[in-house]
């Protein structure tokens, strides 16, 4: 078996470490190489067999003891609910499982999760269905899973409202959620809640120039807690999608600045991820924008956090084919920005690689590019994390139906290790989290049950880095 890591446009065939999980999710793994990560545990969750369960986010508690996973889970004979699970990070033991079924017993789904800085409370958000979907945000006791409060938000248009992103203020006093609200066209919708009570503090909307579809996909809070940043898709004049990044006063929701980005082809541009520099001076946004070959390219932009002035833009076109970034991370020292996603190979139908980039945070200059290609398969990187000491970058995604996680050296992009969960089914991770001490990586997503209807379970694994 040959795995290729490509760095800075070249490829080398040295495999540093591979984990092959050939028969499902047993308690041990076979590894190769001195740096091979040890799998600590794996867990699959479903409420009822032959239904669909999808994990969408994972975070690790500030003390590193607990991993929290959330998403949507079908219930036998009913619609899907929020399901949030707490795991012991070292053993994978489920500490608690909490389901949320909205008051109308209809479809509910969680998309994002956050933890209070003191580790006492877990917050999840998504949508809960009444007559139409509304934002649904829940606070749980992190130790027991008991619900502290839940809050529903029905936007000004009274139509469909879905929250995709959540953030917690640095002092833990406020929870922010964002997505889209029907107003009557879809607009950015942002809501702030008192973290202790769930009381709504303020709400805000943003309508793009095209007076059409606008939706937030990512959110960030400045380190001093004074500013909230959101980004996503906003249809501009002419009916094409643009990036639109908005800064709001975190205390009031008042808009500080808004910056749209329309790519060079005046075509579909979608921002998918956002990060804030550790010193709070810069906001980084990444997404896809159509390029000179009429296919999507990576576009990563740095903005002055105080004014919204563009500092730089960096584009990546792998093979003159489709390139879509899904994840972004910033090094702890603020010197680099990392992005990863899918980069198609123009010579192979339905063939793509992970493509991970390191950019100089000050200039946008490309430091390295690493491509992961396993035997010319279809690979899509969905999630990215940076080690707390800044030495490693972790990327997780789907490689021809398997969970594959790759570790790279942050300075050079050289491959450190590779972990593959091979079950012979259709498995796709959606999120990863690194423990505060950097010793453990938790990856979650969906694993196929194996029945002919393509029903899925939550699938969560933990690796010792």
pLDDT at position 174: 98
pLDDT at position 395: 97
Has residue 224 got a pLDDT over 90? yes
Average pLDDT over residues 168-186: 92
Domain ranges, residue 343: 3-464
Q: Which residue has better confidence, 176 or 20?
A: 176
pLDDT at position 427: 87
CATH number of 119's domain: 2.130.10.10
Has residue 348 got a pLDDT over 50? yes
64-109 confidence digits (pLDDT tens): 999 999 999 887 656 788 999 999 999 999 999 999 887 766 788 9
Q: Which residues contact 210 (CB under 8 A, 6 or more apart)?
A: 234, 235, 236, 237, 238, 239
Among 131-140, 340-349, 360-369, name the most confident range: 360-369
The structural domain count of the chain equals 1
pLDDT at position 58: 98
pLDDT at position 138: 98
Can you tell me the distance from the alpha carbon of 3 to that of 341, in angstroms, rounded to the nearest whole number?
Answer: 18
Has residue 23 got a pLDDT over 50? no
pLDDT at position 401: 84
Q: How much is the pTM?
A: 0.90
198-217 confidence digits (pLDDT tens): 999 999 999 987 777 899 99
Q: Which residue has better confidence, 300 or 447?
A: 300
């Amino acid at each position: 078996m040959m795995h290729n890591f490509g760095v800075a446009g070249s490829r080398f065939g040295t495999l540093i470490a591979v984990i092959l999980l050939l028969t499902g999710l047993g308690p041990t793994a076979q590894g190769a190489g001195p740096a091979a990560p040890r799998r600590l545990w794996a867990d699959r969750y479903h409420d009822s067999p032959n239904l669909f369960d999808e994990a969408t986010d994972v975070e690790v508690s500030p003390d590193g003891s607990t991993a929290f996973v959330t998403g949507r889970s079908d219930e036998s004979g009913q619609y899907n609910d929020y399901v949030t699970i707490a795991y012991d990070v070292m053993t994978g033991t489920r500490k608690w499982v909490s389901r949320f079924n909205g008051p109308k017993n209809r479809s509910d789904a969680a998309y994002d999760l956050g933890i209070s800085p003191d580790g006492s409370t877990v917050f999840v958000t998504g949508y809960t269905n009444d007559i139409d979907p509304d934002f649904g945000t829940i606070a749980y006791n992190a130790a027991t899973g008991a619900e502290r409060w839940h809050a529903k938000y029905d936007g000004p248009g009274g139509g469909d409202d879905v929250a995709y992103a959540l953030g917690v203020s640095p002092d833990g006093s406020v929870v922010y959620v964002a997505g889209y609200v029907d107003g009557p066209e879809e607009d950015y919708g942002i809501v702030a809640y008192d973290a202790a009570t769930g009381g709504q503090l303020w709400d805000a909307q943003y309508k793009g120039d095209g007076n059409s579809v606008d939706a937030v996909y990512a959110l960030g809070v400045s380190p001093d807690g004074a500013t909230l940043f959101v980004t996503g898709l906003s249809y501009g004049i002419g009916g094409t999608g643009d990036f639109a990044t908005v800064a709001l006063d975190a205390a009031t929701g008042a808009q500080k600045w808004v910056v749209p980005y329309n790519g060079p082809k005046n075509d579909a541009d979608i921002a998918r991820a956002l990060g804030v520099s550790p010193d709070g001076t810069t906001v980084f946004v990444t997404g896809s924008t159509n390029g000179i070959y009429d296919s999507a390219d990576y576009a990563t932009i740095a903005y002055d956090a105080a004014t919204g002035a563009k500092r730089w833009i960096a584009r990546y076109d792998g093979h003159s084919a489709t390139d879509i970034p899904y994840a972004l991370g910033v090094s702890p020292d603020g010197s680099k920005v990392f992005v990863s996603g899918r980069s198609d190979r123009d010579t192979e139908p339905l063939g793509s690689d992970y493509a991970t980039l390191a950019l100089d945070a000050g200039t946008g200059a490309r430091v390295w590019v690493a491509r992961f290609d396993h035997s010319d398969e279809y690979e899509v990187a969905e999630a990215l994390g940076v080690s707390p000491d800044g030495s490693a970058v972790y990327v997780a995604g789907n490689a021809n139906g398997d969970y594959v996680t790759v570790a790279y050296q942050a300075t050079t992009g050289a491959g450190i290790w590779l972990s593959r969960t091979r079950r012979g089914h259709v498995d796709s991770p959606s999120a990863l989290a690194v423990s505060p001490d950097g010793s453990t990586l938790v990856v979650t997503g969906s694993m196929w049950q194996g029945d002919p209807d393509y029903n899925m379970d939550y699938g969560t694994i933990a690796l010792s880095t």
